[in-house]
Amino acid sequence: MSPTTETLTAERILEATEEVLRRHGPAKATVVDVARALGVSHGSVYRHFRTKAALREAVTQRWLDRTSGALSAIVAQDRDPEARLREWLSALFEAKRHKAGDDPELFATFSVLTGENSRVVDQHIEDLTAQLTEILRDGAVRGAFTPALDPVVTARAVFHATGRFHDPAYAGEWGRPGIEAEFEAVVDLLLRGLRAAGRSGA
């Protein structure tokens, strides 16, 4: 039962690939490296993943799904939709910032896929906007947010409007001093726009 004699599964390949990507980065990590880390030939890896791109995408998907999963807990909370939306956006920003800082090589892989308009990234964005839609819909039902706005369209608008704080293209600016204040200003403005008429402002 030593690791090298265990059956070769997609899961084990994903773990090894994540490790190789973490060490070498997306530009240098090769399928041969992954196979070597697992003590098998690279042909075996191709038995589980049709192409190198599919492997990269699977690793990235797993990695992104961890974020979506953590955020969905906030959506499920039973409290003030406005506070929930604020916390959700804040958590998304934090998550992306930490990923960029703690796992720069995996983050670079994610950035590459974003630039390539990968299906995986599109799916991630759909997951996130679906969560936003859920909060907005609930907020409208509870009377916290105006019912005048279509939740699906508005969720996408909120997501795009906060792109500076979660899109990897901006990762370089997430370390700047005033970034937190910028985030607050954008979120405050968006929340003003979402609130039902008759509720007090800031």
Partner DNA sequence: CAGCTGACAGATATTGAAAACTGTCAGCTG
Partner DNA sequence: CAGCTGACAGTTTTCAATATCTGTCAGCTG
- Judged by the rule CB under 7 A, the positions of this chain that interact with DNA are 7-8, 27-28, 30-33, 40-44, 46-47, 50-53
Q: Classify 7 in phi/psi space as left (phi over 0), alpha (psi -120 to 50) or beta.
A: beta
Of the two residues 54 and 185, which places its CB atom closer to DNA in the complex?
A: 54
Task: List the one residue from 34, 55, 71, 190 that touches a second copy (CB under 8 A).
Answer: 190
Stretch that binds a second copy, among 14-22, 66-74, 93-101, 185-193 (CB under 8 A): 185-193
At residue 78, φ and ψ (nearest 5 deg) are -105, 75
* Coil/strand/helix, residue 195: strand
CB of 9 to DNA, least distance (A): 8
Least separation in angstroms between residue 124's CB and DNA is 22
Q: Any idea of the CA torsion for 117, 120, 122, 123, to the nearest 10 degrees?
A: 170
Binding range to a second copy, per CB under 8 A, among 31-39, 63-71, 78-86, 153-161: 153-161
Cα 118 from Cα 140, distance rounded (Å): 33
Q: Which stretch binds a second copy (CB under 8 A): 21-29, 54-62, 97-105, 161-169?
A: 161-169
Helix (H, G, I), strand (E, B) or coil at 120: helix
Residue 166 β-bridge partners: none
161 is an interface residue for a second copy by CB under 8 A:
yes
| Bridge partners (DSSP) listed for residue 145 | 195
Query: Binder to a second copy among 39, 69, 163, 175 (CB under 8 A)?
Result: 163
Q: Which is nearer to a second copy, 23 or 192 (CB)?
A: 192
The backbone region for 93, taken as left when phi is positive above 0, alpha when psi lies in -120 to 50, beta otherwise, is alpha
Residue 162 sits in the site that holds a second copy (CB under 8 A): yes
3-state secondary structure of 155: helix
What is the binding site for a second copy (CB under 8 A)?
A: 146, 148-149, 153-154, 156-158, 160-164, 167, 169-170, 181-182, 185-186, 188-194, 197, 201-202
